[in-house]
């Protein structure tokens, strides 16, 4: 189990490198396939040794080897984050003896959540090209792959959570976008009931806590827009990894 989790963690580093491409190109409407990876400042086509996750950033000292433009620290950060989350997703899934196909589905879920979180941070948008396929994949996987949630549970969770957020978005469009609605519906499809409510609660709590902290430190002004997607994604990942343990702790505490 440890070897497989570590192997999947290293795979996550590679996937994280690809997610950097998705995060940069999708909001710009560019292809994620062509052209190949290149310096965004000078267009220099990166060599294979310059595409090694994390290590290439360190070797090049955070600069393009051609034009010496600064490479954002976020590139290795996304790679490391993806590798770490892949490791924990694999470790928890194997510990709970989840079907391997569902493990693969969960890894896709985590990957898209990471991409959406960073895109929302940059653009305050959650693109349909990512949220809608994620919703469809969650529903399809629930019907085809053994485990939780089951197919109809996935459908009802997606409709219930998405419908609730749709009402909020219609009543208060300044604070909730339709992208958030679609993301929550996709989370419901993957997590099922009652896990979706834990994910939304955790995301809302984290968003409120960080938002208040930013206001108190004058890093944000009152009524200034704050992206909700990253907090929803974080709540979903926490629930995916440790939701069962949180529910067990809660019921033991209230009894």
Beta strands in the chain (DSSP E): none
* 118 lies in some domain: no
185 within some domain: yes
From the list 13, 14, 4, the residue with the least C-alpha distance to 91 is 4
Residues 123 and 135: their CA atoms lie apart, in Å, by 21
DSSP 223: T
- Residues 108-131 have a mean pLDDT of 96
Q: By CB neighbour count within 10 A (0-12 exposed, 13-18 middle, 19+ buried), where does 55 fall?
A: middle
pLDDT tens column, 121-148: 999 999 999 999 999 999 999 999 988 8
Q: Which pLDDT score is estimated for 223?
A: 60
Three-state SS for 194? coil
pLDDT value, residue 119: 97
Q: Does residue 158 sit within a domain?
A: yes
Query: Considering only CA atoms, which of 70, 69, 85, 62 is closest in space to residue 15?
Result: 85
Distance CA 157, CA 165 (A): 12
User: What 3-state class would DSSP assign to 139?
Assistant: helix
Give the range among 50-54, 137-141, 211-215 with minimum mean pLDDT: 211-215
Considering the domain architecture, whether residues 22 and 145 belong to the same structural domain is answered as no
Is pLDDT larger for residue 202 or for residue 40? 202
- Asked whether the predicted pLDDT for residue 104 surpasses 90, the reply is yes
Q: Which of 43, 34, 33, 36 is nearest to 64 (CA)?
A: 43
**What pLDDT, on the 0 to 100 scale, is given for residue 71?**
87
pTM for the full predicted model: 0.93
Are 195 and 244 members of one domain?
A: yes
Contacts of 177 (CB under 8 A, 6+ apart): 124, 125, 126, 169, 228
Spatial distance between the Cα atoms of 174 and 203, rounded to a whole number of angstroms: 18
The domain of 31 spans: 1-97
Could you write out the DSSP letters of every residue in 81-115? HHHHHHHHHHHHHHHTT--HHHHHHHHHHHHHHHH
Instruction: Identify whether residues 87 and 130 lie together within a single domain.
Output: no
Q: Is the residue at 104 inside a domain?
A: no
pLDDT tens column, 19-48: 999 999 999 999 898 888 888 888 778 888
User: Of 18-27, 28-37, 86-95, 227-236, where does mean pLDDT reach its minimum?
Assistant: 28-37
Task: Please report, rounded to a whole number, the percentage of residues in the chain having pLDDT higher than 70.
Answer: 95
Where residue 1 falls among pLDDT bands split at 50, 70, 90? Answer: low
Is 129 found in the same domain as 80?
A: no
- What's the mean pLDDT when you consider all of the chain? 89
């Amino acid at each position: 189990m440890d070897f497989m989790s570590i192997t999947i963690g290293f795979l996550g580093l590679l996937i994280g490198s690809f997610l950097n491409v998705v995060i940069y190109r999708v909001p710009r409407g560019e292809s994620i396939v062509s052209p190949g990876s290149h310096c965004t400042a000078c267009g220099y086509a990166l060599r294979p040794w310059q595409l090694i996750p994390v290590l290439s950033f360190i070797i090049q000292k955070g600069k393009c080897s051609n034009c010496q433009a600064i490479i954002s620290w976020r590139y290795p950060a996304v790679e490391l984050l993806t590798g770490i989350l892949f490791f924990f997703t694999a470790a928890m899934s194997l510990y709970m003896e989840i079907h391997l196909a569902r493990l693969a589905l969960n890894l896709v879920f985590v990957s898209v959540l990471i991409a959406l979180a960073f895109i929302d941070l940059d653009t305050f948008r959650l693109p349909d090209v990512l949220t809608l396929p994620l919703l469809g994949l969650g529903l399809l996987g629930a019907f085809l792959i053994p485990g939780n949630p089951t197919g109809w549970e996935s459908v009802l969770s997606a409709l219930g959570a998405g419908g609730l957020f749709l009402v909020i978005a219609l009543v208060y469009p300044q604070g909730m976008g339709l992208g958030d609605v679609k993301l929550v519906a996709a989370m419901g499809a993957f997590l099922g009931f009652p896990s979706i409510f834990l994910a939304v609660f955790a995301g809302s709590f984290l968003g409120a806590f960080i938002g208040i902290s930013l206001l108190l430190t004058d890093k944000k002004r009152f009524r200034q827009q704050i992206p909700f997607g990253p907090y929803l994604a974080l709540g979903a990942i926490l629930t995916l990894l440790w939701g069962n343990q949180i529910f067990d702790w809660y019921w033991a505490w209230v009894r």
